[in-house]
Amino acid sequence: MLDMKRKIKDALYEQFSRTTKALSSPKRIEILDLLSQSEKTVEMVAEQTDLGIKNTSAQLKELKSALLVDTRRDGKYVYYRLASNSVANLLFNLRTFNERHFTEIQKIASQAFNDAGLIDAVNRKQLLAQAKKGDVILLDVRPSDEYTQAHLPYAISVPISDLKKELKNLPKNKEIVAYCRGPYCFFAKEAVELLTKKGFIASRLKDSVHEWASHGLPIEA
């Protein structure tokens, strides 16, 4: 009887470990973070994570085996996406847990971002009201496929790669608040630096779309 109980426990914990094994790779965590923005093909993931196609396919296979991602086929392309919203919640909780326990994360983030142009203690409801009235311009600087998947209400899409040529269409008499994939995404930081250099009033919102929604605020798709 004791041996049977031991076998059952071992089998259960082995299943529990499937998720942690899948999350043991930094690149697989990055891929999940990327897929939390929108579904993507292998080629898109490979390009945006600086991985080769073969390596990306292998990492996605591991994530699918752990039931963290799902797929759909559209013609000759296979699109990968998070298996459910609970995976996005898992990523958010993993990040916040590690931020509280490892000071190295804050040191790296502080050195890389230096909180340049960051909105401190942002009142999200107030920001939303200002964007609705047109007093603030919300700028989504992620790739357009991620904006199409989901974005903040009243936000306009100007991918960071297109921002320089779109400056002429942005007002200089209103504050521009840029956001991207979350606190460790460089797109919004680069946008604020460029806008400020060109004479705009600009700041950065740390929230990703998922984090924004986690505060009970609406998103659009």
Quick one: tokens of 74? 């559209």
Whether 136 and 127 have beta carbons less than 8 Å apart is answered as yes
- The amino acid that residue 108 corresponds to is I
Q: What is the mean pLDDT of residues 69-97?
A: 94
The SS3 of residue 202 is strand
Residues 81 and 137 in one domain: no
User: Of 86, 105, 127, which residue constitutes the final position of a domain?
Assistant: 86
CATH number at residue 49: 1.10.10.10
- The amino acid that residue 13 corresponds to is Y
Residues 119 and 209 in one domain: yes
Task: Give domain status of residue 133, yes or no.
Answer: yes
State the Cα–Cα distance between residues 146 and 72, nearest whole angstrom.
17
Task: Give domain status of residue 91, yes or no.
Answer: no
The structural domain count of the chain equals: 2
Q: What is the pLDDT of residue 105?
A: 86
Residues 7 and 46 in one domain: yes
- The alpha carbon dihedral of 185, 186, 189, 191 has a sign of negative
User: Of 86, 107, 126, which residue constitutes the final position of a domain?
Assistant: 86
Task: Give domain status of residue 103, yes or no.
Answer: no
Range of the domain at 59: 2-86
The pLDDT-based confidence of 89 (bands split at 50, 70, 90) is: very high
Query: Which is nearest to 48 in space by CA: 163, 209, 58, 38?
Result: 38
pLDDT tens across 141-183, in order? 999 999 999 999 999 999 999 999 999 999 999 999 999 999 8
Task: Give domain status of residue 141, yes or no.
Answer: yes
Residues labelled catalytic: 180
Residues 142 and 66 in one domain: no
DSSP codes of every residue in 53-98 = HHHHHHHHHHHHHTTSEEEEEETTEEEEEES-HHHHHHHHHHHHHH
Cα 204 to Cα 48, 93, 164, 194, 208, distances in angstroms:
22, 22, 17, 12, 11
Task: Give domain status of residue 97, yes or no.
Answer: no
Residues 130 and 74 in one domain: no
Residues 122 and 202 in one domain: yes
Task: Give domain status of residue 186, yes or no.
Answer: yes
pLDDT tens across 62-77, in order? 999 999 999 999 999 9
Q: What is the pTM of this model?
A: 0.87
The SS3 of residue 164 is helix
User: Of 65, 86, 107, which residue constitutes the final position of a domain?
Assistant: 86
